Amino acid sequence: MSDIAGRLAPQMGALGLHTSHGGSGKLITGLPGVPPGRVLIIGAGVVGMSATRTAVGLGARVTLIDRQADTLVHAEAQFGARVETRFSSPDTIADSLEYADIVIGAAQIPGRHAPRLISRTALARMPQGAVLVDVAIDQGGIAETSRPTTHSDPFFVADGIVHYCVTNMPGAVARTATKALTHATLPYVQALAAQGLAALESDAGLKAGLHVQDGRIIHAGLAQDLQSR
């Protein structure tokens, strides 16, 4: 599902730039003589890598930020000079926001609240009419200004920035999502059907997905996040 959200994110960002959605009226592809859109992708996990692929394909100028050196090495091997990679730091993010037409929040920690990387002050550095696509909204979002939206009313403007914060992004492409999900989960379903809960003992991956047991939260990260709120 992360893969789908990543591929959709730059498309939604490009749409948010349109005048009718409150954006700056820039064409993401650019034109001969007119520069393409700048896309800043924060996080080079599955979401970020998929978002990079689509953004590059659309002809945008892409900057990909991550904390892990080996993740950036992998990204460069995959995309070469078509994407610029940067080590993540508060300074790097703040500087990059200044030139971004589209920011894609792709930093996620599995099972935990997303890191709050973009404060209201940081947001103010973005150009008016720029777009924030907060893919991490299902875990609370990476921006102070983010609040959940829906497929029927996906955008809102806050502080001059167009926000796209649709929860369950893959729902937009239900057919593709269903096909992918069916194939990805089929082995687990077959194991549960054949063995019942015993399947969790023989498959560490399956067991790691257990969040609540006998009414108690047993997933450490989830428990910690819920307590601290």
Going by the DSSP 8-state scheme, the letter that residue 82 receives in this structure is: G
Gyration radius from the chain CA atoms: 19
Residue 76 binds to a second copy (criterion: CB under 8 A) = yes
Q: For residues 53 and 67, what is the distance between their CA atoms, to the nearest angstrom?
A: 19
Mark the segment that binds a second copy (CB under 8 A) among 65-73, 118-126, 157-165, 198-206: 65-73
Among 145, 94, 93, 136, CA closest to 115: 136
Region of 64 (left: φ > 0; alpha: ψ -120 to 50; beta: rest) is beta
Query: Looking at the chain, how many residues does it have?
Result: 229
| CB of residue 52 to a second copy, shortest distance in Å | 12
Residue 36 binds to a second copy (criterion: CB under 8 A) = yes
Q: Contact with a second copy (CB under 8 A): which of 2, 8, 117, 143?
A: 8
Pairing mode of beta strands 161-164, 155-158: antiparallel
φ/ψ of residue 113, rounded to 5: -70, 140
Residue 77 binds to a second copy (criterion: CB under 8 A) = yes
Q: For residues 86 and 92, what is the distance between their CA atoms, to the nearest angstrom?
A: 8
Q: Binding string, 125-164, against a second copy, x = CB under 8 A?
A: --------------------------xx------------
Task: Note the maximum CA span of the chain.
Answer: 63
| CB of residue 229 to a second copy, shortest distance in Å | 29
| CB of residue 206 to a second copy, shortest distance in Å | 15
Q: Which is nearer to a second copy, 74 or 116 (CB)?
A: 74
Binding site for a second copy (CB under 8 A): 3-4, 7-8, 11, 14-15, 17-20, 24-27, 29-36, 53-54, 56-61, 63, 69, 72-73, 75-78, 80-82, 84-87, 151-152, 171-177, 179-180, 183-184
